[in-house]
Structure 1
Amino acid sequence: MVIRFWRMTVLMLLLITTACSSYVTEMTPISPGTEVVEQAHPDTETKNELIVWTFYDTTESDRQFMILHPQIKVKTVRLKYEEIANAFIKAYGTRESPDVVFLDSSMTGQLNGLDILSNLRGQGNQVNQIAKKIPVNMLPQYSDVKLNKLIAMPIALPTAFTYYRADLLEENGFPADPDKLTEYLSTPQNWVDMAIKLKTKGIYLFQHYTDPIDVAAMSSSILNRKLEFAWDSQVFQDAIYVAREIRRNGLALRSTIWDPSGEQALRDGQLAMLYGGPWITDSLKSWAPDQAGSWRVSQLPLHLYGYRDGAMIGIAKDSQHKSEAGKYVQNVVSLTKSVDVSGQDSYLGGQDTLNMARSNAQYNKGIYPTPLDAELKALWDKNIQGIIESDQPIANQLALLKEQMEQVTKEERAIIKEAIQLKD
């Protein structure tokens, strides 16, 4: 009871107050044209100095920004990916708070109940024009929990695709054309049958048996807008069926592209399919440059549209340099920019993934991050392996999990519903 009361109290505070405390985390500053130094803390305010926090190297974009705006100095601090959201929450309201922060869209649920990010729709005409380029169905991913404010913008649209070795599929009698492959993989059994046949040639479509469930999760948040558990749909039932078949037939490589063995398997033609965002293109060019022209992209299996988490950018509400921060956001976000992707296109046999991402993004639906996502995802992860390993009906098991998840978060969901004025 004490833990329950504490959780509900914290949630209420998240939804009605802002964070304010000091932070302790590992930070590395990045200054264009200089060597990386180990520790940095902003000590003094400079009228036209922007403090930028990021989890990846922004040296080149910072340099370009300062060429366009030589009167604005950028002081960039690099934090660990897994620490940046909590560090920003803790630093807000102190002298250590940044003006601009790069985050991952998977972190939205940690932040959209907190009033610590500026509404980007109020950052001037240029930023507003960029905001209009975000497909309306994707706006909740970058909005506050009430859907009243745009608290962040994607650096680029993180539309998810199926990446596949067209040559290997064609050699083994499967569709290599993107549209035909999309249609073929629209049914779970075809996905399984392809994996079974290709395995006889030492070729895999999955890194782990949970890959189909990860694909399904790209199309839906764990709670829908009514704050009901959403991962019991037919899509997830189909994905779990495929996962069971992968496990039963040994169809997973059991190594990831982030491991040396998985990367080597990709180079050797043992891994013929990946599922994720446009960042995969550049990764493939780095991992397997000699496979240029062999890879293609198509829609996700099961006729799904979705996205993979990607970088987004926001402006701290307590920033004293919002005008300069707005210019920085305008410079970094690529939604309205014409980007030369000729190198990427040739690697993918001439496909224009930038335009494909923009076109497909309008169909993405069902993404509503909430402060409860992390708790619910942990509970999901704890149960999903048992469901995959079970022979019990999938729909029944998901119904039981739905009941458990909604019961565990009943009070918290009621608090959020009241905060967003959502009626049952």
Structure 2
Amino acid sequence: MQTSKSFVLFLMFFILAGCTSPPVQSVHDSTLIRETDSEEETQNAKTNELLIWTPDNIFSNSLEGFQEKFPDALINIKEIDPNIIAEKYRDSLIKGKTPDIYVFPIDKIGGFSGVHGLEDLSKPMYDDSLFMQALPKGLVEEFRTSDSNKLFALPLLYFPYVTYYRADILKKYGFPSEPDRLSEWISDKEKWIEMAEVLKQKGHYITETDHQIIETALRTSNLFNGTYDYIAKKNAFGKALEGAVEVEENDLDPSLNIWEESGKAALKNDELVMFYMANYVQDQLKEWVPDQKENWGITTLPFGLNGVDRKASTAIAISSQSQNKMIAWEFIKHMCKDMMNIYKGSNKDPFYINKDINRIYWNSVTNSIAGQPTILDKGSENIWKVALAEFRNGEEITEHAIEQVHQDIGDLIRQDQKALQNLINKN
């Protein structure tokens, strides 16, 4: 059994290395590894110190409450450069010199899905049904491997992606303006296109750019399912790609960016009446257009898309090498509960028409999210990034261009995908 686990670890990391763009250095040649060895803080011995590696220390406001419960615990939080975090974490697992707890950016966690070295948090020793039931189910299930049902991480801090829209303008032209009704309407691609066409005739747009639709899909969605099938051609992701092609064909976007002055001007003059962004824009929008109070609403994403900003959101895991697993588990529970409180209770913001914005946010993370992070993500995402750069620079978004991306990804992953699927079938 141990031999099988070691082989899986080797295979996963070999594939991940093969999917990255820079040439791979050997362990002995890498100056990065020599530097980190000399400075490394790892925690494999049984002590009262809990070592956490994280890209950002988001625990400051929650530590006092944890220390009140566990006064003897010494918390050592080490920030890891996000640019090298995947390599750093991978190297520590290979060497068996790990912290007690890892915090992962969700967009990088795919390289660790199914890897031997992270605790299975569904084990009986971690049983806490009330805590687990309170977590956002959609996100939790992303971190459960489909082949072994292993739960290798839990959602920690997350930012739901949503639709911001001008309720007064939609209502004026006969479209649904109440959040739930609009959510149902824009989940249908044909109805979303109809809305875009009608509003364009009135001088209004419901997306910043054609490629913003693709960016939203990539920012919130998985490219593969748990058995390593590529799922970006179908379901919500596929509908979003079709929508982007139709926006390009029918010139249904103003080619603006809300973070630029021209984009902010388009919000102020009612040209841009819908856009897609994470919930951290809720307060920002009020600063941009303060005189539009009570005209804006928030609802779910179009085309059936659903998820969080994967670049900004994080997950948390326990190293199997940790000698402090139970106190690590208590730390995880405390921090997850604290972060989850952001979305608990009512959120009635007078700027928006919503009776409770948190209900929209919570639905975005509890509803089922297609697929899960996998070892094949990195190389595939790099191909999409190249395509997006070309679309931003003026290349037309066509069915042929999208199909070429799918084909390039298929060519890249074919051998690794087959090896991983064979491994699942053997087990």
Alignment TM-score, normalising by the size of structure 1: 0.75
**2:135–2:340 CA contact under 8 A, matched in 1:** no
**In 1, Cα distance between equivalents of 2:42 and 2:387:** 47
2:23 alignment counterpart:
none
Please state how far the C-alpha of 1:420 moved relative to its aligned partner: 2.1
Task: Give the direction of change, closer, same or farther, for the CA distance of 1:370–1:255 in structure 2 (3 Å limit).
Answer: same
**In 2, Cα distance between equivalents of 1:261 and 1:352:** 31
Matched AA of 1:416: L
Task: Give the direction of change, closer, same or farther, for the CA distance of 1:225–1:126 in structure 2 (3 Å limit).
Answer: closer
Matched AA of 1:364: S
2:5 alignment counterpart:
none
**In 2, Cα distance between equivalents of 1:83 and 1:252:** 37
Please tell me whether residue 115 in structure 1 is matched to residue 116 in structure 2: yes
Please tell me whether residue 81 in structure 1 is matched to residue 76 in structure 2: no
1:322 alignment counterpart:
325
**1:282–1:344 CA contact under 8 A, matched in 2:** no
User: 5 Å matches for 1:19-30?
Assistant: 24=32
Partner SS, residue 214 of structure 1? helix
**2:343–2:362 CA contact under 8 A, matched in 1:** no
Kindly provide the CA deviation profile for residues 319-362 of structure 1, in whole angstroms up to 9, marking residues without a partner as x: 22222211111111138758555455444334334344444545
**1:160–1:275 CA contact under 8 A, matched in 2:** yes
**1:130–1:336 CA contact under 8 A, matched in 2:** no
Partner SS, residue 65 of structure 2? helix
Unaligned runs of 5+ in 1: 1-7, 26-39
2:373 alignment counterpart:
369
Q: CA RMSD, aligned part only? A: 4.3
2:425 aligned to 409, 421, 424, which one? 421
Matched AA of 2:212: D
Please state how far the C-alpha of 1:279 moved relative to its aligned partner: 3.8
Between 1:310-319 and 1:300-309, the stretch displaced more is 300-309
- Equivalent residues, number: 398
Please state how far the C-alpha of 1:230 moved relative to its aligned partner: 2.0
2:299 alignment counterpart:
298
**1:123–1:326 CA contact under 8 A, matched in 2:** no
**In 1, Cα distance between equivalents of 2:356 and 2:348:** 8
**1:52–1:100 CA contact under 8 A, matched in 2:** yes
**1:203–1:269 CA contact under 8 A, matched in 2:** yes
**In 2, Cα distance between equivalents of 1:360 and 1:203:** 27
Partner SS, residue 320 of structure 1? coil
User: 5 Å matches for 1:23-422?
Assistant: 24=32, 42=41, 47-58=47-58, 59-92=60-93, 97-122=98-123, 124-125=125-126, 127=128, 129-134=130-135, 138-144=139-145, 146-155=147-156, 159-171=160-172, 173-196=174-197, 198=199, 203-217=204-218, 221-233=222-234, 235-236=236-237, 238-248=239-249, 251-252=252-253, 254-258=255-259, 262=263, 266=267, 271-281=272-282, 283-284=284-285, 293-309=294-310, 310-334=313-337, 341-343=345-347, 345-359=349-363, 361-383=365-387, 389=396, 394=399, 402-421=406-425
**1:243–1:388 CA contact under 8 A, matched in 2:** no
Task: Give the direction of change, closer, same or farther, for the CA distance of 1:105–1:145 in structure 2 (3 Å limit).
Answer: farther
**In 2, Cα distance between equivalents of 1:376 and 1:362:** 26
Percent of pairs with identical residues: 24
**In 1, Cα distance between equivalents of 2:70 and 2:219:** 38
**In 1, Cα distance between equivalents of 2:351 and 2:289:** 10
**In 2, Cα distance between equivalents of 1:63 and 1:289:** 36
Matched AA of 1:370: T
Partner SS, residue 88 of structure 2? helix
Please state how far the C-alpha of 1:142 moved relative to its aligned partner: 1.2
Please state how far the C-alpha of 1:152 moved relative to its aligned partner: 0.9
Name the structure with the higher helix share: 2
Task: Give the direction of change, closer, same or farther, for the CA distance of 1:241–1:320 in structure 2 (3 Å limit).
Answer: same
Between 1:191-200 and 1:181-190, the stretch displaced more is 191-200
**2:379–2:412 CA contact under 8 A, matched in 1:** no
Please state how far the C-alpha of 1:190 moved relative to its aligned partner: 3.9
Partner SS, residue 170 of structure 1? helix
